[in-house]
Amino acid sequence: MNENLFASFATPTLMGLPVVLLIIMFPMLLYPPSNRLITNRLSAIQQWLVKLILKQLMSIHNTKGRTWSLMLISLILFIGSTNLLGLLPHSFTPTTQLSMNLGMAIPLWAGAVIMGFRHKTKSSLAHFLPQGTPIPLIPMLIIIETISLFIQPMALAIRLTANITAGHLLMHLIGGATLALMSISTTTAFITFIILLLLTMLEFAVALIQAYVFTLLVSLYLHDNT
């Protein structure tokens, strides 16, 4: 049971060959590049979506922050499509692996913070002390703010991993429950199946929301530091 439950999260190998790289690069095929002005429906919808997201995401940034727009759009498209593809049966979701999420979160966060410290040192250091703190609390508050700063990349990565993994696990468990209940009492199995349907809808939403949250937070860290 244990092995079966977590088997879907093992890094996929095909006869000993790590095929995970191909799986990570697979969503690229779903965004066909085109040199036309008027494209097919898929590309038209993708262009419209990208424009919508980009406008909403980069409206708060100044010129310096907007140089990150390509990075952030690629991020949200990648996380969104990998999460959504992971909902298909028997598929592997790269974002369930903590290694990959850390690999995405730490460089982005570090880049934003180091850029902030280099260019606006005083303002970056000022973030450690919120306005209007009473004087006796200052030393403790600085320690807390430092810890909070260093937790940010961890939080980013672990949030994404935990949400997606938990969703997949829950779907698997409730599917198993439905399967087990089918031979006992069909009505309960049916109710459980309804729960599974609702959960699937939630999972679709979560897939997109997590992508959005990840990118939004990176964008926020960027905004603080540009």
Partner 1 sequence: MLSRVVLSAAAAAAPSLKNAALLGPGVLQATRIFHTGQPSLAPVPPLPEYGGKVRLGLIPEEFFQFLYPKTGVTGPYMLGTGLILYFLSKEIYVITPETITTVSTVGLLVYAIKKYGASVAQFADKLNEQKIARLEEVKQASMKYIQDAIDFEKAQQALVQKRHYLFDVQRNNIAMALEVTYRERLHRVYKEVKNRLDYHISVQNMMRRKEQEHMINWVEKNVVQSISTQQEKETIAKCIQDLKLLAKKAQAQPVM
Residue choice 152, 161, 178, 226 for contact with partner 1 (CB under 8 A): 178
Interface with partner 1, residue 172, by CB under 8 A: yes
Determine the 3-state secondary structure of 18 from DSSP. strand
CA 92 to chain centre: 15
Residue choice 22, 25, 28, 45 for contact with partner 1 (CB under 8 A): 45
Residues in binding contact with partner 1, number by CB under 8 A: 34
Tell me whether residue 30 or residue 179 sits nearer to partner 1 (CB atom). Answer: 179
Interaction mask 1-30, partner 1, x per CB under 8 A: ---x---x----------------------
Residues facing 13 on adjacent strands: 18
Residue choice 142, 171, 209, 217 for contact with partner 1 (CB under 8 A): 171
Q: Of the listed pieces 57-65, 123-131, 133-141, 189-197, which binds partner 1 according to CB under 8 A? A: 189-197
Interface with partner 1, residue 92, by CB under 8 A: no
Helix (H) or strand (E) holding 198: helix 186-225
Q: H helices of 59-185, where?
A: 63-66, 69-85, 98-119, 121-126, 138-182
Q: Considering only CA atoms, which of 200, 193, 204 is closest in space to residue 171?
A: 200
Interface with partner 1, residue 173, by CB under 8 A: yes
Q: Of the listed pieces 98-106, 129-137, 150-158, 166-174, which binds partner 1 according to CB under 8 A? A: 166-174
Interface with partner 1, residue 55, by CB under 8 A: no
Query: How far lies 180's CA from each of 7, 86, 146, 184, 198, in Å?
Result: 19, 24, 49, 7, 19
Residue choice 63, 90, 183, 187 for contact with partner 1 (CB under 8 A): 90
Radius of gyration of the chain (CA): 22
